[in-house]
Amino acid sequence: MPYVILGSLRINTDVMLTISKGCKVFVHADAPVIVDGSLIANGTKDNPVLFTGDRLDADYKDLPASWPGIYFRGDSKNNILNYAIIKNATEAIVAEQPSVNANPKVVLHQCIIDNALKTGILCINSSLKSDNCLISNCGSNISVAHGGNYEFIHSTVASVSNNFITHKNPVLSISNFATQNGNTVTADLDVTIRNCIFWGDAGFIEDEIVVNKQGTTSFNIIIENSLYKATNDPANTVLSNIIKNQYPLFDSINVNKGIYNFRINNPAAPGIDQGVVTPFLKDLDNNNRNIGLPDLGCYEKQ
């Protein structure tokens, strides 16, 4: 069932909005989705939940910044998005401030975040867990600032310059600090990245993962069994089983035709069978993971 949001949609504190599978949410250009309570999206592979702009005519249906995005604010809690597609926003997902309970503020399970003008996922001193997600062709795909607690498992984070967005920012930026009232403030940071791909093409970026640290607060970043493009390894990071600067062999990228297929089925692809077993046994297409050595990224070779 389709819904059109005009003005804004706000989920009040202590209110839970559950969106059923197959629901399509079309959002106007000035209408942010503001979550002070809880948002649950119960999409499936065949019937995902869609968030996108409300202009569907040819000149606008693929335009980034067609709507503001989804904002999980300070009191928001227990947000879970299953098989959600969030595209054409300005900032697709924004999570602010630490979780108010023991759960991550936002959980993204088998989601697609695409074509956001500024940021696909922006987290500011918050918490988020993501598995088997594709974050593609955003101004900045993932940006973490002022610390927090994060986990990215089996993610493909990739950008290719196109007619809408030039790839000029790293696909992953992480820091433990922010500027408030002219002062630099820091917070504890914990990030775990496993079985992921970080890649950018046709842009101006040498290092697709950039890590910046200030102060003396707790700072822990682990990247293991992952592939990334970089001239310099990310600083202040524990790295293990890294594949560096080997093209992932995505199935089909054709900018002129607007084709961005980030699946990997070439048996020569460097990320095939290079992962470690995790609790997540299905990929973004809901195909079974190799129970021995899964592939890197959000898709498992079939």
Range of the domain at 54: 2-249
What mean pLDDT comes out for the span 69-88?
98
186's CB contacts (< 8 A; 6+ apart) are 146, 147, 176, 177, 214, 215, 216, 217
Q: How far is CA 55 from CA 1, 33, 236, in A?
A: 17, 17, 44
Residue 266 domain flag? no
Q: How many domains does the chain have?
A: 1
DSSP string, 128-195: EEEES-EEES-SEEEEEEEEEEEEEES-EEEEE--SS----S-SEEEESEEEETTEEEE--EEEEEES
Residue 69 has pLDDT above 80, yes or no: yes
Residue 190 falls inside a structural domain = yes
Query: How is residue 257 written in tokens?
Result: 């035709």
Does 286 map to a domain? no
Q: How far is CA 181 from the centre of its chain?
A: 29
As a whole number, mean pLDDT of residues 257-266 equals 96
Cα–Cα separations (whole angstroms), residue 42 to 45, 85, 93, 125, 154: 10, 11, 17, 26, 20
Confidence bin at 202 (pLDDT 50/70/90): confident
Identify the pLDDT of residue 59: 85
Mark residue 119 as left, alpha or beta (left: phi above 0; alpha: psi -120 to 50; beta: remaining). beta
Residue range 120-141: mean pLDDT, rounded: 98
Distance CA 197, CA 225 (A): 9
Residue 195 is assigned to a structural domain of this protein? yes
Residue 275 lies in a domain: no
71 domain-assigned: yes
Asked if residue 272 is part of any domain, the answer here is no
We report the CATH number of the domain holding residue 212 as: 2.160.20
Where does the pLDDT of residue 74 fall: very low under 50, low under 70, confident under 90, or very high at 90 and above? very high
289, HSE (Cβ side, Cα atoms, 13 Å):
26
